[in-house]
Amino acid sequence: MPKMRTRRAAAKRFKVGGNGRIKVAKAFKSHILSKKTRKRKRNLRGMNTVNERDRPRVERMLGLK
């Protein structure tokens, strides 16, 4: 059998935390930042976790299962 390959695009977007949760950066922070308030941009920092419904698909893309 051939090896399972990781989807490289997914590998760049998702990280697996120490507790097993899959982390992903928040959306809407890449461009057109001038019209967004300081508060909104500040709240877009950090990471989110992947929704439980999307988790099986993301795990398959990352080659975890």
Q: Where are the domains of the chain?
A: 8-62
Place of tokens 């695009």: 9
CA–CA gap between residue 16 and residue 65 (Å, rounded): 13
pLDDT band at 24 (very low <50, low <70, confident <90, very high): very high
Residue 48: helix, strand or coil by DSSP?
strand
What's the half-sphere exposure (Cβ side, CA atoms, 13 Å) at 33? 12
CA 40 to chain centre: 19
**In this predicted model, what pLDDT tens digit does every residue of 27-52 receive, in sequence order?**
999 999 999 999 999 999 999 999 99
Place of tokens 């059998």: 1
What's the pTM value of the predicted model, to 2 decimals?
A: 0.80
Please say whether the structural domain 8-62 has been given the CATH code 4.10.410.60: yes
**In this predicted model, what pLDDT tens digit does every residue of 2-22 receive, in sequence order?**
888 899 999 999 999 999 999
